[in-house]
Amino acid sequence: MSNRIQDKKREVILDSITEGVFTVDSDWRITSFNRAAEEITGIPRTKVLGQKCSDILRADVCETQCALRETMETSKPIINKAVHILDARGEQHAIAISTALLKDESGKIIGGVETFRDMSLVEELRKEIEGRWSCEDIISQNHRMHRLFSVLPNIAESDCTVLIESESGTGKELLARAIHNLSFRKDKPFVAVSCGALPDTLLESELFGYKAGAFTDAKKDKPGRFAIAQGGTIFLDEIGDISAAVQVRLLRVLQERTYEPLGAVSSVNAEVRVITATNKKLDELVEQGQFREDLYYRINVMKLELPLLRDRKDDIPLLVNHFISRFNRLRSKNISCVTDEVLAILLAYDYPGNVRELENIIEHCFVLCQAEIIEKKHLPASVCPSSSVDKVKTGEITTLKQMEILLIIEALRRNKGNQTATSKELGINKSTLFRKLKAHDIKPDAYT
């Protein structure tokens, strides 16, 4: 009886601490697993008791540098060893583990105990500061994205110039960083320059630097971004916005691999990989004479196109969960999910600002949501579709035909493009719906 009370007490104490704790017997089978361990690994204790610890923790050290094994063999505890585990959500987590021996009354070793802390926040902040992003950090289950990821190592290895063409907010810089971090230049600097943010004259001195006396107030030498990126990668964002003069200078860097800082009398070698990105169609700019054709061919050795978020809506639930976990860590909140209604609204939205806009939407919800679940009322008004009644009231819809089109579109959205369900909801025959879709040129596939 007293043993049972003792066990219960121990369980309460273990469950009240924020560090994950589990114990193993001499055969590496788990004998106890506390609440924090369940949260960090995502695995309930009912499923782990009696299992081998390596099958549950799934850590990178299990096979070669098991901390518990080392402690059992040397009788020395290990403190705060940094390891990575795979949790039940299929994501890698950084944790810090400590180990100790378990002994019975006679001093005989009967197993070991491992405690671990979730280091995801620290890891995320470290990545943010160091810019060490990789493919693993681009959240996607979309086949187009995975086709892209599968060619990245080859592209990274080739050291060729890369052009990333896609709309704003799709993750062009993240992709450029992933290429840099996969390449042999990964230990050298990655320098990002937003060409559109700087006026023409400033951009030139920013990219190539200047010598003292090059112009009034140039009192000492200033290295340009190309010099800072020497040996590494320079990422030129919004390349479509640069002036004709900068285009000529950039062309020379790419052709000759040399450049002259403003006011310099000799050339400087540019041992730098160039990755460019734009949200414009560069070939159209070339046709319109706004972008040099020779420069276009120089930077367009390897063109990558990042799909828009509206074209990879299968990623939205995954991204929503990712942003919820991220903001939970950054803002110390405990929001678990969004309601089905919110997810349906998020799936129906078009995202002109792509992934960045979705991130901002979730951040907006985090400010307003004080409970555990994000509801429709927490969403920004711009995301929520206004009802047809509202549109009639505000005078946006004036004809019966417009009303009909809107009702059909809204019903298609709610039913994810399913025509049978839509016709049922609208109380019309499927063939009537089909006729109306054709008459109003509505494509149901656009709402799947």
Partner 1 sequence: MKIAIPVWNNCVSSAFDFAHRLLLVDIQDGSEMNRSEISLDPEPISQRAIRLKTLGIDVLICGAISRSLASLVEASGIKVLPYVLGPADEILKAYLIGQLGQSKFAMPCSWPGARKGFRRERRCRRGRQ
Residues within the interface to partner 1 (CB under 8 A): 42-44, 47-48, 51-52, 54-60, 62-64, 84, 86, 88-92, 134-136, 140-141, 143, 146-147, 149-150, 152-154, 182, 318
> 418 vs 223, 346, 385, CA distance in Å?
59, 18, 19
Which one, of 341, 204, 220, 203, lies nearest residue 262 by Cα? 204
CA atoms within 13 A on the CB side of 406: 16
- What is the distance between the alpha carbons of residues 437 and 445, in angstroms, rounded to a whole number? 11
List the structure tokens of 313: 């809506």
* Shortest distance, position 357 Cβ to partner 1, whole Å: 23
Q: Which is nearer to partner 1, 103 or 147 (CB)?
A: 147
* Shortest distance, position 45 Cβ to partner 1, whole Å: 11
DSSP string of 343-392, one letter each residue = HHHHHH---TTHHHHHHHHHHHHHHH--SSEE-GGGS-TTTSPPPHHHHH
* Shortest distance, position 154 Cβ to partner 1, whole Å: 8
The shares of helix, strand and coil residues in the chain, as percent rounded to the nearest 5, are 50, 20, 35
CB 316 within 8 A of CB 176: no
Q: Which is nearer to partner 1, 164 or 270 (CB)?
A: 164
* Shortest distance, position 348 Cβ to partner 1, whole Å: 22
* Shortest distance, position 378 Cβ to partner 1, whole Å: 25
- What is the distance between the alpha carbons of residues 154 and 160, in angstroms, rounded to a whole number? 10
Q: Which is nearer to partner 1, 150 or 398 (CB)?
A: 150
* Shortest distance, position 434 Cβ to partner 1, whole Å: 31
Q: Which is nearer to partner 1, 283 or 311 (CB)?
A: 311
Which one, of 206, 198, 193, lies nearest residue 262 by Cα? 206
Q: Which is nearer to partner 1, 89 or 126 (CB)?
A: 89
* Shortest distance, position 346 Cβ to partner 1, whole Å: 18
CB 418 within 8 A of CB 409: no
Q: Which is nearer to partner 1, 89 or 440 (CB)?
A: 89
CB 324 within 8 A of CB 337: yes
* Shortest distance, position 177 Cβ to partner 1, whole Å: 13
* Shortest distance, position 63 Cβ to partner 1, whole Å: 5
Residues 6+ apart with CB under 8 A from 377: 368
> 44 vs 27, 37, 40, 87, 397, CA distance in Å?
21, 9, 10, 12, 53
Q: Which is nearer to partner 1, 90 or 427 (CB)?
A: 90
Q: Which is nearer to partner 1, 69 or 280 (CB)?
A: 69
DSSP three-state, residue 439: helix
Ramachandran category for residue 111: left, alpha or beta (phi over 0 → left; psi -120 to 50 → alpha): left
Q: Which is nearer to partner 1, 178 or 272 (CB)?
A: 178
* Shortest distance, position 32 Cβ to partner 1, whole Å: 16
* Shortest distance, position 3 Cβ to partner 1, whole Å: 28
Q: Which is nearer to partner 1, 149 or 434 (CB)?
A: 149
Residues 6+ apart with CB under 8 A from 281: 165
Q: Which is nearer to partner 1, 123 or 241 (CB)?
A: 123
Rounded to the nearest 10 degrees, the angle between the axes of helix 430-439 and helix 419-426 is 100
List the structure tokens of 57: 């923790």
CB 98 within 8 A of CB 77: yes
